Amino acid sequence: MKKLFLALILNLLLIGCNKDVPELSFDELNIEQVSELNCNPEEENCTFIGIKIPWAMGKDTRSNLLNSHIKNHIIKLIDYQDDKDFPSLENLAQTFIDDYEDSAKEFPEYNIPWEAFVDGEITYKSEKVISIRFNLALFTGGAHGYTSVSYLNFDPETGRFLSNNDLFNEEFKKYAETRFREKNEIPENESINSTGFFFEDDKFQLPQNIGFLSNKVILRYNAYEIASYSDGNIQMEFKMEEAKKYIKIL
């Protein structure tokens, strides 16, 4: 009887372990704030911040962890001062407006409306990875604004952020460098910076931002990462079929 009982317990444990993890559910988080100071709506000349991003709707640890990564990423994108602690994205938006108004009152002769907008979109979703792209447009005065495209990749089962090392094997970096040199006409026997790039220590590095589409892998270097602002953003696209052998999770 004891052996039968142990067998039943073992079967129940195996069933529990094999139970499918519920699919993550997302909704759109939409935050908008407009300053009334020096605002001319008819000319669309107002300081504005908008955040429109995917947001996991569950109350479980997995959803909370994923949302925490998204929140911290948005804060990093917009926090031009990098010295404040924001408990929420709503607080970030209000602080952006408050900082503009303080600056406009202190330096009225330099008053130019600020703008910050982040638009997020899920570009790839499978049992192994969720890839989210974030488009940023930011202007807080100066000669020009700043735009960027960034990606975050997550494990759908745990909500854990997936780094490049989690996603790709060691051969992927060599493959990407070969393709980078071909695209930018950098001879194999010459320095990676020989044509004007400025990779750190003169060694090729994968970008921080790598994302997935249904049929492509995107490698994105934003302005200032490996080239000057005037050179703009640098992007490489690999067909999923050719990149698949380097991807650990597929």
Tell me the residue range of the domain where 228 lies: 164-246
Q: pLDDT > 90: what percent of the chain? A: 79
User: What pLDDT is recorded for position 15?
Assistant: 40
53-75 mean pLDDT: 96
Nearest to 99 by CA among 31, 29, 33: 33
Point out the domain boundary residue: 129, 154, 179.
Answer: 154
114 and 58, same domain (yes or no): yes
Query: What CATH number is associated with residue 236?
Result: 3.90.640
Nearest to 210 by CA among 222, 202, 219: 219
In a domain, 12, yes or no: no
In this structure, are residues 80 and 95 in contact, taking their beta carbons and an 8 Å threshold? no
In a domain, 225, yes or no: yes
Q: What is the pTM of this model?
A: 0.89
Point out the domain boundary residue: 106, 125, 154.
Answer: 154
User: Which of 38-42, 171-175, 217-221 is predicted with the least confidence, judged by mean pLDDT?
Assistant: 38-42
In this structure, are residues 177 and 192 in contact, taking their beta carbons and an 8 Å threshold? yes
Q: Tens of pLDDT along 96-134? A: 999 999 999 999 888 899 999 999 999 999 999 999 999
- Number of domains forming the structure of the chain: 2
User: What pLDDT is recorded for position 5?
Assistant: 46
